[in-house]
């Protein structure tokens, strides 16, 4: 099986090792555990010990090429005999404080997938009648580099993993966190979802759209928009810099700088067709700007405002067609000031 182990798979391996320790069975360095759904994975253990009545084991999450804040985190699982299987947050694992996630408020941030995976691993040793405590060394510090504070998960990281494996350079973990944030925002009764590329857009949104919680989507606009509709939102507001969002107008749904052709060149062609009467856009003095910022700043103020509005409207229409709901787009400059707005 290619790819590294998720935190859920690490926890399952540590739980199985602790259960072996409890039964007095020698614990191997590499332990075979079930993955969610089908398949298995061999996981290297870091350490194990404790008494038969309170065994524990740990696994260091492998370092992969996936840019994940939990790479090389140490996951520790301890067991205590109990009447039924239960899960508890140890140091470094968060507690859920906002509705809308897969775990109820007040519960440990251990998703259903990893819970099932841990239960399967324990059953292979004989019984699931354990109180399972999952901890992550330094998890509270790691959580500050994740989406957890936005999701209302406090005190540490969440134990995730739908497939059990981290696929190199995948955005699976990021997309899962963003979708969880969508669920949390909708659960608070917000019918308009505000999507921003990053922190600059978030800062501008707090001023331009007060009272609306925004969701950071990075460059994965297409993937996130495909998830928006099922959460029951009635409107999408996209807010960001023209250099980023104009890629959506062009039909590029991954807005990373390495993807697609020059958005400035495309925008000039698009706006010359959309605004044939604009002297500013047709002027030879535009030259060949390499950035959207350079292109827009080369226009006279009236043409700049019209161009931004045309681009914003095109973005809104693209988004609306993609997700099937009403859309609005706000374009802001690098200081967060509104430069154009359009709707579908």
pTM > 0.85: no
Could you list the residue range(s) of the whole structural domain that residue 89 is in?
A: 4-166
- Please check whether residue 332 lies inside any domain of the structure: yes
Same domain, 312 and 206: yes
Same domain, 237 and 337: yes
Predicted pLDDT at 167? 45
Question: How many secondary structure helices (H) and strands (E) does the chain include?
Answer: 12, 18
Round to whole Å and give the CA distance between 110 and 136: 12
Please report which confidence band the pLDDT of residue 262 belongs to, taking 50, 70 and 90 as the band edges. low
Same domain, 194 and 162: no
Predicted pLDDT at 2? 41
pLDDT at 300 over 80: no
Pairing relation of β-strands 192-196 and 156-157?
A: unpaired
Please report which confidence band the pLDDT of residue 312 belongs to, taking 50, 70 and 90 as the band edges. very high
8 A C-beta contact, residue 110 and residue 93: yes
- The predicted model gives 6-31 an average pLDDT of 94
CATH of the domain at 77: 3.30.2110.10
The contacts of residue 240 (CB under 8 Å, 6+ apart) are 196, 197, 200, 201, 331, 332
Q: Considering the chain, what percentage of its residues have pLDDT values greater than 70?
A: 85
pLDDT at 66 over 80: no
Same domain, 201 and 281: yes
- Pull the structure tokens for residue 46: 């870091």
Instruction: Count CA atoms within 13 Å of residue 42 on its CB side.
Output: 4
């Amino acid at each position: 099986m290619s790819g590294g182990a998720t935190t859920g798979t690490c926890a399952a391996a540590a739980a199985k090792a602790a259960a072996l320790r409890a039964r007095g069975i020698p614990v191997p360095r590499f332990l075979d555990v079930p993955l969610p759904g089908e398949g298995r994975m061999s996981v290297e253990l870091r350490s194990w010990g404790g008494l038969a009545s309170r065994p524990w084991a740990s696994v260091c999450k492998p370092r992969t090429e996936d840019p994940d804040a939990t790479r090389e985190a140490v996951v520790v699982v301890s067991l205590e005999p109990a009447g039924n299987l239960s899960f508890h947050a140890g140091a470094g694992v968060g507690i859920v404080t906002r509705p809308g996630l897969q775990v109820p408020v007040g519960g440990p941030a251990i998703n259903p997938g990893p819970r099932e995976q841990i239960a399967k691993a324990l059953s292979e040793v004989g019984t699931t009648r354990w109180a399972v405590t999952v901890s992550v060394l330094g998890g509270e510090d790691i959580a500050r580099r994740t989406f957890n504070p936005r999701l209302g998960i406090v005190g540490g990281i969440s134990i995730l993993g739908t497939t059990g494996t981290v696929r190199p350079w995948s955005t699976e973990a990021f997309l899962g966190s963003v979708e969880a944030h969508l669920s949390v925002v909708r659960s608070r009764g917000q019918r308009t979802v505000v999507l921003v590329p990053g922190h600059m857009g978030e800062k501008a949104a707090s001023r331009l759209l007060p009272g609306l919680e925004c969701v950071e989507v990075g460059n994965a606009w297409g993937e996130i928009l495909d998830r928006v509709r099922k959460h029951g939102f009635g409107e999408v507001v996209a807010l960001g810099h023209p250099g980023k969002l104009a890629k959506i107008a062009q039909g590029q749904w991954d807005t990373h700088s390495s993807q697609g052709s020059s958005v400035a060149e495309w925008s000039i062609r698009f706006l010359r067709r959309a605004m044939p009467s604009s002297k500013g856009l047709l002027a030879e003095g535009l030259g060949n700007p390499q950035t959207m910022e350079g292109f827009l700043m080369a226009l006279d103020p009236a043409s700049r405002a019209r161009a931004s509005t045309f681009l914003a409207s095109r973005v809104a229409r693209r988004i609306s067609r993609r997700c099937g709901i009403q859309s609005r787009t706000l374009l802001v400059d690098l200081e967060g000031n509104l430069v154009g707005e359009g709707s579908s």
